[in-house]
Amino acid sequence: MQKLYSNKLVIFSLVLPGLLVFLFAILAPICLSVYYGFTSYSGMGQAEWIGWENYKTLLRDANFGRSLTNSLLLAIGFIFIQHPIAIIVAAVLDKLQGKAEGVFRCIYFIPNVISVAVIAYLWKFIYNPDFGLLNNALRALGYQGKINWFSNDTAIWSVLVVLIWHGFGWGMLIYYTGIKNIDPVLYEAASIDGADQVSTFLRITLPLMKPVIQVNVTMAIISALKQMETVYLLTNGGPGNSTQFAANYLYQQAFKAFRYGYGNAIGVVFIIICLLVTVFLNKIFADRQPA
Amino acid sequence: MKEKKTIGSAVKRTFLWVILIAVAVVQVFPLIWLLDFSLASSNEMFTTGLLIIPKKIQWGNYVKAFVDGHFLLYLKNSILINGLAVLLVIFISIMAAFACKRMKWKLAGAVKTLLLIGMMIPIHATLLPNYKIYNAIDLTDTIWALLIPYVAFSLPQGLFLMTSFLEAVPVELEEAAVVDGCGIYRIVFGIVTPLLKPSIATVAIMTFLNNWNEFIMASTYLSSPKWKTLPFSVLEFTGQYSSNYAVQFAVMSLTAAPAVIVYILLNKHITKGVAMGAVKG
Amino acid sequence: MKRKLLVTLLTTAMTISMLAGCGSTASTEATTPAADTAAEETAAPAEETADAADSTASTDPVTLKVFSNLPDRKNGQGLIEQMVIDEYLAANPNVTIEVEALDEEAYKTKFKAYAMDGMPDVVSIWGQPSFLDDVLNAGVLAELNEADYADYGFVSGSLDGFKKDGKLYGLPRNTDIMAFYYNQKMFEDNGWKVPATYDELLALADDINAAGIVPVAMDGGDGWPMAIYLTDLIVKINGTHGDIVSEAIANADFANPVFKQATELFAQSAQAGLFQTGYDSQDYATAMNLFTNGQAAMFYMGSWESSMALNQDISEDIRTNIRAFTMPVVDGGKGKATDIAAWNGGGYAVSASSEVKEEAIKFLNYLYQPDKLSKYGWENGVGMSAQDQTAYMSGSETELQKQFMDILNNATSVSGTPINDCGPSVFKTVMESEIQNASNGTTSAEDFLTSIGNACK
């Protein structure tokens, strides 16, 4: 057994496909990015080595700063708007029995399986001030003005709403599963103690859900950082870079502004930021877990 | 006293229903709106009402969407590419998980960590260099240009889930197999894999959901219609039918339909799969 | 009689030298009388078609990849392009043509991605520094033989933007004029008049807003139409455009007060409600649909959209009532009403790395035979090509076509390449995103001009 399980050749053959995929699709492009990040390569012709120049430019680039701030805003929005609603809805759904429970759960998740391409275009129409659903709904409620949902100040929040709407089912489902896994005995004990539902939720459900919340918060922050597709189609970073995100920005710089080298420098910094944030989040959550 | 309590709980119950229904309306109404206007004619869009009853149901919108949107071709491509990606991810992740979890070698932990790092890398940061690489070795506009990154970025999650599920598989079964003279490959694919069935379902669902909606890589790496995936129906239509909104709505409904229908049919299994993945993740 | 008049008009129109570059100032100069060459040209295509048939009869199958910026293959320019492709396929049975078409922004992005390594054989290009400089420096386009096109009837000067060091790398498709399209019937019904001055335009916008209609539909989500608006205003304020713009870009300094005045005027107009709510985030199609569905009274766009008049997707009472006027004069400005924003922009080229370069060039030449793109374009109301179209006048042109012809005919000067396309692509990218901020008041005119100046360094 021991011999069989330490056969180097067999081990190698088992991990080889995984390693190859990793080397070819993740490590190699990152190395290439690091190289091009040090050049002034425009995307065509010859690449010229310019040292740290791109990174110096990046430090002063207000649009990149804006991208990171936007990611932060998005993460805050997820954590303080989407997740509380998702937890409450999950808790309420848990109280429901029978068929209705399944039906609602199904309905909430539907937007999640629809392609971002459809979602982004759909919301472009929903937000249109002249014939969009949202302004028509407001008009039906008596408000006559036209609201510009994509002004420099409001656009980022409008993007957030779309993302919350699209990802709601996923977050809800995870909380729902977490709640379902709570031992019913604990609830019985609480009701014997005479606690009402709200205090049961606050004193039992929430604390027990801590690990689930931590996972969900980590995922929210990461997905806020990595945001690209929805923004790419919905606003493409506009108006005036007010909804810019790192991934979209590097794409624009490389393929629109002929700054492939600079785009790669953004990519490298972007990867480092993602790694640091993930490690940091894991660390603070791991530290707390045992206690 | 007792009566008061039932009234109280009736109010509470109503309140719960109101919350649930309100959220359901918010989640689904935009889709109903989409469906509604996809059956109208284009100039009926410019109304102040929320929903309309089309003067004449325009099935023609869907015919245009179906034909000019290359619906069948792109759907086939989407299913094929995603299907292959799922198979590869499952296959590779089971092997790697077994090697890292069960086999005895010094670097097991290090290799596992290395492979899991992929989870932290933002997929879009590899767009630029990957484009360069695929061009250099003539992979652009082939199925590999999508398969490779799809597999690469779903693999870490797959590996993570497989290793945690593998812990629950009793070692005794393997020991018995070794006694019977089975080789490692037989053990991995003949004994362990069938036991991992629920986790395979989870990994399959997660991988599928991750990649089904992807279009940035597809639109960067592909150029001919040969391997284009379903989101392209929508992307191409906004240019092709820029002056006809109703047809655009039809193509959006049409491309959304397969995933929604499959989800509604398999909703119990998918929910279970996602839930399992979530708890482990 | 009517036909003859039109011929004369167009002939004169074509004598205006169209500017492609940014450096020189426009002037009216006499070129070869177009009427003379017209006869020769109609003869030429016939020979060439015969040649083509001969040489291809025995050749092996060839696949040409065409990358186009015209995704709508059923209307306007895309339809014309497809018509010529279909004809070419019929005449050359051994050839297969694969078209990949994306709309402009997506096209330019993908083009740059392609330019890195290996492009399709025939591509759409723009004869403007922002686009072509990097492309030509990288040497990805095949050189064309200018002498081949001596009798193709290209308007004098229209090839200049497609040249580098005297060598020709592409051919222009259009002569573009920027204008306000307006709905004549809506104007008449409401008693609105075509504005003669910029102040009148703003006053008109107030009236239209009061009637609950959008005054001007603007594609502000893409920055370029707003940059062209700025060019239009610079022309009206300063009288000329190319000279001060190229100077500013060369010195990376936009301190010239003309720029500030134009930017502020533009921002004031936008903030006074000249455009639809949320114009700065809406795309081309959204803006155009507002106009073609009667939600907006005007639409600021180039002459290439004059095929709206024949687009069956647009309801008849709107499409037959579309007319156009150019930017009205600005009070105290040096520019006359007849100094217009016009240029030769889009066109085609062949990839230098094409494995079927010969066939690609043959196809390119076929496209530009005067009785192909140019003729069909004219007959389908698409707008003006960069070639002499006098031979195809029928008198049954749309009102819009006639209007644009008159505008060009009466022009005393043209702007040349719009401001955003005069500098390097970094300048273009920065300008097109910053102009959104400048228009809606997020940044001041000074800050806007400083940031586009910095982008030139």
CA-nearest of B216, B197, B198, B41 to B125 is B216
pLDDT at B3 over 80: no
Stated as kind and residue range, the H or E segment containing C122 is strand C122-126
Neighbouring subunits of A (3+ Cβ pairs under 8 A): B, C
Q: How confident is residue C177, by pLDDT bands cut at 50, 70 and 90?
A: very high
Amino acid (one-letter) located at A173: L
3-state helix, strand and coil shares in percent for chain C, rounded to the nearest 5: 50, 15, 35
Single residue among C364, C385, C406 that ends a domain in this structure: C385
Question: What is the per-residue pLDDT across C355-393, written as a single tens digit (0 to 9) for each?
Answer: 999 999 999 999 999 999 999 988 888 878 888 888 888
Question: What is the per-residue pLDDT across C83-121, written as a single tens digit (0 to 9) for each?
Answer: 999 999 999 999 999 999 988 878 888 888 888 777 899
CB contact under 8 A, A239 and C281: yes
Residues C196 and C296 in one domain: yes
Q: Kindly state the tokens that stand for C404.
A: 């644009």
Q: Any idea of the CA torsion for C312, C315, C321, C323, to the nearest 10 degrees?
A: -60
- Which range of C16-30, C44-58, C424-438 scores highest in mean pLDDT? It is C424-438
Instruction: Select the residue of A113, A232, A275 nearest B209 (Cβ to Cβ).
Output: A113
Residues C353 and C431 in one domain: no
Cα distance between residue A198 and residue A204, in whole Å: 10
Cα distance between residue A164 and residue A166, in whole Å: 5
Is C112 near chain A, with CB under 8 Å?
Answer: yes
Mean pLDDT computed over A127-140: 90
Helices (H), A78-202: 83-95, 99-109, 116-127, 133-140, 155-180, 184-192, 197-200
Interface mutation vs chain C, best among A258, A264, A266, most C CBs within 10 Å: A258
Residues C139 and C78 in one domain: yes
Q: Kindly state the tokens that stand for C311.
A: 């687009």
User: Per the domain annotation, does C390 fall within a domain?
Assistant: no
Output the pLDDT for position B279: 67
CB contact under 8 A, C221 and A45: no
Q: C-chain residues within 8 Å CB-CB of A151?
A: 278, 280-281, 440
Is C50 near chain B, with CB under 8 Å?
Answer: no
Interface mutation vs chain B, best among C72, C315, C316, most B CBs within 10 Å: C72
Cα distance between residue C172 and residue A3, in whole Å: 74
Cα distance between residue A170 and residue A158, in whole Å: 20
Residues C212 and C263 in one domain: yes
Which chain C residue lies closest to A44 (C-alpha atoms)? C116
Ordered by start, the domain boundaries in chain B are 2-60, 70-240
Cα distance between residue A230 and residue A99, in whole Å: 34
CA-nearest of C106, C160, C133, C115 to C352 is C115
User: Per the domain annotation, does C144 fall within a domain?
Assistant: yes
Question: What is the per-residue pLDDT across C292-337, written as a single tens digit (0 to 9) for each?
Answer: 999 999 999 999 898 899 888 888 999 999 999 999 999 999 999 9
Instruction: Select the residue of A112, A113, A117 nearest B234 (Cβ to Cβ).
Output: A117
For chain B, the maximum distance between any two Cα atoms, rounded to a whole number of angstroms, is 80
User: Per the domain annotation, does C437 fall within a domain?
Assistant: yes
Helices (H), C323-396: 357-368, 373-379
Residues C316 and C352 in one domain: no
CA-nearest of A218, C448, A108 to A100 is A108
CA-nearest of A77, A72, A36, A70 to A54 is A36
Residues C152 and C299 in one domain: no
Cα distance between residue A198 and residue A205, in whole Å: 10
Residues C204 and C165 in one domain: no
Say which residue, C245 or C160, is predicted with more confidence: C245
Instruction: Select the residue of B220, B235, B244 nearest C313 (Cβ to Cβ).
Output: B244
Stated as kind and residue range, the H or E segment containing C448 is helix C445-454
CA distance B33 to chain A (A): 8
- Scored b (16 or more CB within 10 A) or e, C320-340 reads ebbbbbbbbbbeebebebebb
SS3 labels along C179-207: EEEEEHHHHHHHCCCCCCEHHHHHHHHHH
Cα distance between residue C244 and residue C449, in whole Å: 14
Cα distance between residue C114 and residue C437, in whole Å: 31
Q: How confident is residue C22, by pLDDT bands cut at 50, 70 and 90?
A: low
Burial class (CB in 10 A: 0-12, 13-18, 19+), C317: exposed
Residues C48 and C119 in one domain: yes
Residues C117 and C233 in one domain: no
Q: How confident is residue A1, by pLDDT bands cut at 50, 70 and 90?
A: low
Q: What is the pTM of this model?
A: 0.87
CATH number of the domain bearing residue C81: 3.40.190.10
Q: Any idea of the CA torsion for B40, B46, B49, B53, to the nearest 10 degrees?
A: -20
CB contact under 8 A, C436 and A238: yes
Interface of B with C in 97-156 (CB under 8 A): 131-132, 135-136
Instruction: Select the residue of C102, C117, C295 nearest B239 (Cβ to Cβ).
Output: C102
Question: What is the per-residue pLDDT across C143-159, written as a single tens digit (0 to 9) for each?
Answer: 999 999 988 989 888 89
Residue B148 φ then ψ, to 5° = -60, -55
Residues C106 and C239 in one domain: no
Cα distance between residue C406 and residue A114, in whole Å: 51
Residue A245 φ then ψ, to 5° = -130, 155
Q: Which domain holds residue C377?
A: 31-172+345-385
Domains of chain A: residue spans and CATH = 28-60+258-291 (no CATH), 66-256 (1.10.3720.10)
Single residue among C367, C385, C403 that ends a domain in this structure: C385
Question: What is the per-residue pLDDT across B102-126, written as a single tens digit (0 to 9) for each?
Answer: 888 999 999 999 999 888 899 999 9
- Domain total of chain C: 2
- Which range of B77-86, C31-40, C374-383 scores highest in mean pLDDT? It is B77-86
Residues C331 and C186 in one domain: yes
CATH 1.10.3720.10 fits B70-240, yes or no: yes
Instruction: Select the residue of B95, B114, B149 nearest A25 (Cβ to Cβ).
Output: B149
Residues C200 and C318 in one domain: yes
